[in-house]
Amino acid sequence: MTLAGKKIAVLIAPRGTEDPEFKQPKEAVEAAGATVTVVGIETGEAKTNNGDLDPGRSYRVDKAVKDVSASDFDGLVIPGGTVGADKLRANQDIVSFVTAFFEQAKPVGVICHGPWLLVEADVLKGRTVTSYSSIRRDIENAGGVWVDEEVVTDKGLVTSRKPDDLRAFCAKIVEEFAEGKHPKQARRA
């Protein structure tokens, strides 16, 4: 499956994004031929974590969210990490960026604690998703249907639970990004 010609945004927090949940999906879409732009709250360097306490790596943030638009991209990846996801969902520009992908019916891949951004963006009503189990109630309170499965696809939205699910998650986001827009993605329940 090829993503040649596709432009994919991958979010990263200034500190606290889960390293494999950032690195592996980024590498998967690049390997399929996509052009990836790392988007953060601001440009510069972002430091990831391996778990909540162990440091990960530093990555370059290509664009600040205020300098991009969902219309610049064909898809979005939202990695997890407790601290990173919490920082991202607290930033209104990031939340508006995420919301715009749903309004434009573009595919979105989200893993682990990343669905916190979907809760904040108010795009979960009537959708079936998975996540790290500790945020199940947040998802249900936002109107989502939570299931405990390796990977779940719902109208262009791909979700997975944790780093152990990355192989299935990466394969499914490449597939959904290749399919392109999902008209039902823009519809709210």
Q: Which secondary structure element, helix H or strand E, spans residue 29, and what is its range? A: helix 19-31
The answer to whether 112 is a known catalytic residue is yes
| Catalytic residue from among 32, 88, 94, 112 | 112
Beta bridge partners of 8: 36, 75
E strand segments, the chain: 7-11, 15-18, 35-40, 44-50, 54-61, 63-64, 75-78, 108-111, 128-129, 145-146, 151-154, 157-160
**Judging by DSSP bridges, how do beta strands 128-129 and 145-146 pair with one another?**
parallel
Q: What are the CA-CA distances from residue 120 to residues 52, 67, 76, 109, 125 (Å)?
A: 22, 21, 16, 16, 12
| Catalytic residue from among 26, 89, 113, 127 | 113
The catalytic residues are: 112-113
